[in-house]
Amino acid sequence: MVPQHPAAVDASRLLGRLRQLGAIGREGGDGPTRLAASDAEKAGRDLVAGWFAAAGLEVAVDRIGNLFGIWRGGDPALAPVMVGSHIDTVINAGIFDGCYGVLAGLEVIETMRAAGMAPGRPVVVAAFTNEEGVRFAPDMLGSLVYAGGLALEAGLATVGTDGAVLGAELARIGYAGPHEPGFLRPHAYVELHIEQGPVLDREGVPIGAVENLQGISWQRVTIDGVANHAGTTPMSMRHDAGQAAARVITFLRDRAGRGNVPTVATVGCMAFEPNAINVIPSRATFTVDLRDPDEARLREEEAALARYLVELAEAEGVTISVERLARFEPVIFEGAIVAAVERAAAGRGLRSRRMTSGAGHDAQMMARLCPAAMIFVPSIDGISHNPRERTLDADLVGGANVLLDTVCHLAGIDREDLAS
């Protein structure tokens, strides 16, 4: 029997902060919208930075706007254990995606300090810039720059869907910090996150020990046809960009839906020009999000789409251009940390199961820099990126305690040390 860990997070503080942060950016929707480097996200950043400071942490911001709360415990010369996630959201989001990992990370540090624990090394909580990628592509941009996967200048020069430039926006909201991205090279990185999918909820398992994360391909497709009169143009004479775009959506759905391959395909954004009820669209611009845990299969899906677009251009008499927005290969997380998560769950009397992450996360970028892994808790009905995103309080608290024990282990404080 593994001795019960004597420390536990402060549930009401964690749950209260989740709801307080979740209330920011509510204008115009049932759920928050805090797009990266927006005024609403600034308000969220200010609240979280205030909590970091009130907890006695050193607050640091790097040049791509990543926000850190640093506890310089233990031997300050040693690399820190880092936890965290993001607090930017999609449009009309839930309140747990990302925020849970940041606030549970803060909660873990506050619990360790209140329990008088003496970690062997510093512990840091991070909130990375632009994880969602809704306003600025690619997603996970802040952690990608932090991990050296994208040059800082390129990140700062990124132009958003609204024409804003990320670097200028970070300066405008007061989060163009002085630290060089990567200034803290972690000993290990652990990210606690809601699953955002149906697996844990369907199986009734409270903890996911995430061992890998699927590959992601983001593209923007532009189809140019010929505007013409909706009433006078015979169907056989049309070069309808809207019709061609619709055929791409159906092609993607049919391919991803065939057999039992795990490939998923999404067209999330679509715009027509001139966007008039009685004009055949001259232009359709849309995004394609393809994902698969297997790199070879993901490449085949990209190639199949490229072949289809060539055939479609010929058949519809349109021209088609494609712009790559993001491309990340699948990531395998650190087995030793995954095993530590399983032990921590067992120590809390919680069942766990190993699993793949369907969503992208900052952990996949931090895995380029240090040993990394993730902990999932169930999403009720598998719903996320939706105001109906929900996780049971007991699961939120259970996940935070598993993060606590995993961080203690990584920081050199094992349960046996504490039980004595």
Residue whose CB is less far from ligand HGY, 139 or 211: 139
> Interface residues for ligand HGY in 105-134 (CB under 6 A)?
131-133
Closest by Cα among 34, 102, 81, 139 to 406: 81
Cis peptide before 80 (omega within 30 of 0): no
Q: Is 80 in the site for ligand HGY (CB under 6 A)?
A: no
Residue whose CB is less far from ligand HGY, 132 or 195: 132
Residues binding ligand HGY: number (CB under 6 A): 6
Q: Which does 362 bind (CB under 5 to 8 A by kind): Mn ion, ligand HGY, none?
A: none
Element of type H or E holding 201: helix 199-203
Residue whose CB is less far from Mn ion, 98 or 181: 98
Question: Which region holds residue 196: left if phi is over 0, alpha if psi is between -120 and 50, else beta?
Answer: left
Q: Is 84 in the site for ligand HGY (CB under 6 A)?
A: no
Question: Which region holds residue 257: left if phi is over 0, alpha if psi is between -120 and 50, else beta?
Answer: alpha
Q: Is 360 in the site for ligand HGY (CB under 6 A)?
A: yes
Q: Classify each residue of 265-290 as buried b or exposed e, where b means 16 or more C-beta atoms within 10 Å of its C-beta.
A: bebeeeebbeeeeebbbbbbbbbbbb
String of contacts with Mn ion for each residue 365-404, x by CB under 5 A: ----------------------------------------
Q: Is 316 in the site for ligand HGY (CB under 6 A)?
A: no
Residue whose CB is less far from Mn ion, 113 or 368: 368
Q: Which does 98 bind (CB under 5 to 8 A by kind): Mn ion, ligand HGY, none?
A: Mn ion
Q: Is 97 in the site for Mn ion (CB under 5 A)?
A: yes
Residue whose CB is less far from ligand HGY, 44 or 360: 360
CA distances to 270, 346, 357, 358, 402 from 336, rounded to whole Å, are 43, 15, 18, 21, 15
Q: Which of 31, 84, 94, 98 binds Mn ion (CB under 5 A)?
A: 98
Tokens 């032990």 locate to 343
Q: Is 224 in the site for ligand HGY (CB under 6 A)?
A: no
Assigned token pair, 374:
């993730």
d(CA 283, CA 288): 16
Strands 123-128 and 331-332: unpaired
Residue whose CB is less far from ligand HGY, 25 or 133: 133
- Point out which residues bind Mn ion (CB under 5 A): 97-98
